[in-house]
Amino acid sequence: MLKIQKMSFAALMISAVVSGTVFADEKTDTKFNDEVSYALVAYSMTQAKIMAEQGEIKLNEAQVNKAVEDVLKGKFTEQKIGELSQTLELFQQKVMAREQAKMKEISQKAQEEGDKYRAEFAKKEGVKTTKSGLLYRIVEAGKGEVIKPTDTVKVHYTGKLPNGEVFDSSVGRGQPAEFRLDQVVKGWTEGLQLVKKGGKIELVLPPELAYGKQGAGASIPPNATLYFDVEVLDVNPKAK
């Protein structure tokens, strides 16, 4: 989507130049003018090339050259620019439709993999399931006061997808994470209250207790089930 927006911006800039809404200052440095002329075309063509490499379009070199020639010859009337805008809008709609279909497929696959993973994990020794659907296994209970949602916890953790791929790890970074327990995903808020300081716990979060239908970035797809191995290093109650 971002690439389409960039491409549209470049197209609008060229349209503005053609229609006269952007004009050259007589005192403009010639070298700078040449650089801007080059940059405008290079920018739009780079975006087009990226789309071609990603399979979104197949560039027709003859049409590309014709477009540049038509711009330089001033053949772009307001009517023509309107037609080009409609073509780009139609292209954008097709790209969006293709992306939505792709995301639906990814989401469905993640849902199926997650359902299977949770069913298998539930069979392991020591695993329990809460009313919310959270699966957990306590490795070490820890000692001290029961952790409350308003407490700030310091933890080391590793997060994995059902296929075993690690998407995040404070252990790998060598830097513990610290946060207030009620400011993270629901599965963590619920799960870490089941252990105390020094405790270790395995958590398996169904999508609704993790990032749901939205997913998170490029690493966590929509409807993903997540596995976490967590160690509670420290607990700091909220100051009264």
- For residues 213 and 105, the answer to whether their CB atoms sit within 8 Å is no
What confidence category does residue 136 fall into, taking pLDDT thresholds of 50, 70 and 90? very high
3-state secondary structure (DSSP) of residue 3? helix
Report the first-to-last Cα separation within the chain, whole angstroms. Answer: 47
Mean pLDDT over the full length of the chain: 85
Of the listed ranges 17-31, 92-106, 167-181, 225-239, the one predicted with least confidence = 17-31
Residue 2 predicted with pLDDT over 50: no
Task: Report which residue type is found at 218.
Answer: A
Nearest to 164 by CA among 217, 121, 201: 121
Neighbours of 177 (CB within 10 A): 16
Question: How confident is the model over 123-134, as a mean pLDDT?
Answer: 97
Tell me, yes or no, whether 3 lies in a domain: no
Domain with residue 223: its CATH number is: 3.10.50.40
Residue 35 domain-assigned (yes or no)? no
Would you say residue 53 lies in a domain? no
Residues in the chain: 240
Q: Tens digits of per-residue pLDDT, 191-227?
A: 999 999 999 999 999 999 999 999 998 899 999 999 9
pLDDT of residue 20: 46
CB 196 within 8 A of CB 168: no
Per the listing, tokens 């070298």 go with 31
Predicted pLDDT of residue 92: 82
More confident site: 202 or 23: 202
Taking only the tens place, the pLDDT of each residue in 61-105 is: 888 888 888 877 877 777 877 888 888 888 888 888 888 888 899
Asked whether residue 94 is domain-assigned, the answer is no
The pLDDT of residue 103: 87
pLDDT band at 41 (very low <50, low <70, confident <90, very high): confident
Q: Is the pTM of this model over 0.85?
A: no
Domain assignment present for residue 60? The answer is no
Count Cα neighbours of 1 within 13 Å in the Cβ-side half-sphere: 4
- Does residue 174 form part of some domain? yes
Residue 189 lies in a domain: yes
Residue 28: per-residue pLDDT:
59
Split into its structural domains, the chain has a count of 1
- pLDDT-wise least confident of 10-14, 57-61, 108-112, 182-186: 10-14
207 vs 214: CA distance, rounded Å: 10
Residue 223 lies in a domain: yes
Query: Could you tell me which of 128, 130, 149 has the C-alpha nearest to residue 139?
Result: 128
Distance CA(234)–CA(176), nearest Å, equals 10
Which spans in the chain are helix H?
Answer: 2-19, 30-53, 61-72, 78-121, 170-173, 186-191
User: 38-42: long-range contacts at Cβ-Cβ below 8 A with a sequence spacing of 24 or more?
Assistant: 40/10, 40/13, 40/14, 41/14, 41/68
**Domain around 214:** 104-235
How, if at all, do strands 200-205 and 135-140 pair?
A: antiparallel
Q: How many CA atoms lie within 13 A of 218 on its CB side?
A: 0
Position 11 scores a pLDDT of 52
Q: Which residue has the higher pLDDT, 152 or 48?
A: 152
